[in-house]
Amino acid sequence: MDIFGDSNLIVPCETEWGKWWQTLEEVHVEVNVPKGTKSKEVKVDATNTDITCIVAGKTIFSGKLFKKIKGSELIWSLEDGGALLNILLVKLNYAGGEDPWPSLMGDFRYKFEQNAYEEMKKSTEMEKLKEQVMNRSI
């Protein structure tokens, strides 16, 4: 029995290019791209502080992230026949006590609406609690 219920609730932040959401340790970004997009048309670069996403020569987003990530661990893939670009970012130095990011970028672009952010905070608090309980039972 899972006493936490649906503690892995995904609360997405909708954007003009797709959506993004997060867990305690990761940031997931989904970019809607033209169907049939090929991997050679995609360029996703990240450092620990910045990210750039270019598809077919067009910059989708670029700038300083809200917090640091492990830039060398960035993973991206094309899915749904080349219509969806998935990007996975791993948060840097996650220690378990951080609040979720209120926006993807440091300048507050792609910011959660307040109600959605509160839902995200509840979801991550449940995730933190579940992690603590699981660590104690090992």
Residue 17 domain-assigned (yes or no): yes
pLDDT digits (tens, 9 = 90+) for 19-54: 999 988 899 999 999 999 999 999 999 999 999 999
State which residues form the domain around 51. 13-136
Side chain identity at 95, as an amino acid letter?
A
Measure the CA–CA gap between 24 and 22, rounded to whole angstroms: 7
Residue 86 domain-assigned (yes or no): yes
Residue 72 domain-assigned (yes or no): yes
Measure the CA–CA gap between 25 and 31, rounded to whole angstroms: 20
Residue 16 parent element (H or E): none
**Which pLDDT belongs to residue 132?**
72
Residue 118 domain-assigned (yes or no): yes
pLDDT digits (tens, 9 = 90+) for 49-73: 999 999 999 999 999 999 999 999 9
Q: Is 8 helix (H, G, I), strand (E, B) or coil?
A: coil
Number of folded domains that form the chain: 1
Residue 38 domain-assigned (yes or no): yes
**Which pLDDT belongs to residue 2?**
42
Residue 8 domain-assigned (yes or no): no
The pTM assigned to this predicted structure is 0.83
Query: Mean pLDDT, the chain, as a whole number?
Result: 88
